[in-house]
Structures are given as C-alpha cells and as structure tokens.
Amino acid sequence: MKPSPDARRGKKKVSILTQEKIDYIDWKDINLLRRFVSDRAKIRARRVTGNSAQQQRDVAMAIKNAREMALLPYTNRITTQRGGRGGDRRNRDDNRPPRDDRPPKKDLEPTQEQNEAPSENEELINVEVPQQPEMETSAPEALDTSEETKKEETPE
C-alpha cells in the first residue's frame, strides 16, 4: 500500500492566532505582526505560519496598514559581507590548486575618457577625411549662388 499524502507531510502547524485565541488582528499591535513578517520584511506564507485563509487575509491587511502608517518597514535590507565572484574557491576541499587569475577582457565600448570633450589644455586636432569621388548623375548641377555668378548673369 502507498502511504497517504498526509503521512508524508507530517502534522499541520497550528497558527499563533489559534494558540493564543486572537480573534481580531490590530494593525497597531506591532509585536504580533512581526511574528508574521520575515527578517527581510516579507509576509510569511500560510504553510510557514499555519494560518487559515481568512487569518492570512486579515494578517496581510493589518501588515499593509501598519506599513502605510510607518509602523512596519516595507523593506528591511540586511547587508552581509560577501566575497564576490568565486570568493570561496580559494580554499577547496578536494585539494585542487586555485585557478590562475587572467587579465580582464578588453572593452569594445569606448571608455569615458574617449567620450569626454577635450579640456582647455588639450589641443584640438583636425583630421582630414578623404573625400569620395563624385558620381555623375543625369540631374542638373546645383545652382551656384556666389557673387561671381551673379555678376556674370546681370548685364550692365
């Protein structure tokens, strides 16, 4: 015979609200509400707290009201010291030597220095760009509006 699904899960957790016979969850009761909030200020799930659906709804509304009244934080950031990328690889249990550090890859994007305008002390360098040969077209040439052409056209 197969074991029933309830036997695998174990005994259902009893809610704090049921144990202490609390009917109304007051949003001003911070000590009670903190029991239903994780250390990162997240509302704990029903399966963790053992609340019924109605109890969880009431707890969530009370926590949200308390947050809005600034009695509970929306987020509580916990800073822990971390080693960064691969920080734990230096002391390996399998007696392998640590990897050699390789130089960083070259960036394809221009650096900030290349994007900035030159300062007063730096000289501006003019670079001549070679012009491409003009292609002949069947369209008439553009009119020259210089003063020399105007003098040629007007008779005196």
Q: Which amino acid is at 156?
A: E
Q: What is the CATH number of domain 12-68?
A: 4.10.640.10
- The domain locations on the chain are 12-68
Nearest to 64, CA basis, from 48, 35, 40, 42:
42
Q: Distance between CA 128 and CA 86 in Å, rounded?
A: 49
In tens, the pLDDT along 85-142 reads 655 555 656 676 666 777 777 766 655 555 566 566 666 666 676 677 666 666 555 5
Question: Which uninterrupted H or E stretch holds 33?
Answer: helix 30-34
Report residue 60's pLDDT band, with 50, 70 and 90 as the boundaries.
very high
